[in-house]
Chains A and B, each alone.
Chain A
């Protein structure tokens, strides 16, 4: 009997932490993959307004148009709100060709479902937005989504 007692003595065996790095690396890779670095740097101030009647946006069929005042590094462009598409400021009359080009780059079956996401700073006046919308109507890209921040119900 004493033969068995011997083994039971002593502390609990230490839990092996050898697999800890593997687990952490797995998490690390997940976040590395999930992280999206901003693809176009904004040249404008872009604080979105808030709303609660929102729908989710499908990224695969969307082109974004930004609008707002040029941010502090781009003061040379003046104080008036400007339109930004991809990485450059554009004028109102360039909206149509830019949007059509973006639509043409999509996969063919998504092209009819093309949505234009409008990310407009809340300080912008609505006249600029209606100019953009007018151009979008001319380009016959009629689905727009006003991108907003989700407002939590009070």
Chain B
């Protein structure tokens, strides 16, 4: 028998097969991107030192009841109003901070019955054990939003750029530290320190 050369395999359908596979992986891929609210928990404090007394006017109490209702400063409030209420409270600047400085950058009402200084203003959040996690996150989100709003405003005023972009730049250059940028970020954080305390829910 004569030696026949092997017939050439038609590779024309190769692309189709590869496309099929490609589409399968395209559809099944979920490039995971986890995002969330970053918070720091307070360390456990065993010392017997009396906690300093905080004036009622420097405390912004947010209570989430077991029926997911919001009680802000003993008054019922809708969630959508919470952000503005928190901003008003933090930005009030009615008096001086511990060093006796008035808040020159606050744009609030300077109401003597509300917080003295952003340094002193504390938001205290308390929730019930039966509060739903969804509501809890919504409230947390609004309170963080209030701080972000104020920091954003100061960044625009002082450095004429957004706070978000500063943080992003810091993230990008994490291996070549930019001292000036870090200082600016710290300065803004210091203007509105995040004092968001969470009380433990009552055991019931």
Q: How far is the CA of A134 from the CA of B200 in the complex (A)?
A: 9
| Chain B residues in 8 Å Cβ range of A122 | 132-134, 137
Taking the nearest CB of chain A, how far is it from the CB of B121, in angstroms? 18
Is A124's CB under 8 angstroms from B133's CB? yes
Q: How far is the CA of A6 from the CA of B30 in the complex (A)?
A: 56
| Chain B residues in 8 Å Cβ range of A18 | 11
Is A143's CB under 8 angstroms from B44's CB? no
Which residue of chain A has the shortest Cβ distance to B17 in the bound complex?
Answer: A21
Q: How far is the CA of A147 from the CA of B134 in the complex (A)?
A: 12
A129 and B38 contact, Cβ closer than 8 Å, known pairs A21-B11, A21-B15, A28-B18 = no
- In chain B, positions 18-37 with a C-beta closer than 8 Å to chain A are 18-19, 21-22, 25-26, 28-37
- Chain B contact-residue range equals 35 or more
> Is residue B84 within 8 Å, beta carbon to beta carbon, of the partner chain?
no
New A-B contacts (15) at CB < 8 Å, excluding given A24-B22, A51-B138, A126-B135 = A21-B11, A28-B18, A31-B25, A50-B137, A117-B36, A125-B129, A125-B133, A126-B130, A127-B128, A127-B129, A127-B201, A129-B136, A136-B41, A137-B43, A148-B137
Give 23 pairs: A residue, B residue, CB < 8 Å, sorted on A.
Answer: A24-B15, A31-B22, A35-B25, A35-B28, A49-B137, A51-B36, A52-B141, A53-B148, A54-B37, A56-B34, A57-B35, A57-B36, A117-B36, A120-B133, A122-B133, A124-B132, A125-B133, A126-B129, A130-B127, A130-B200, A130-B201, A140-B44, A144-B39
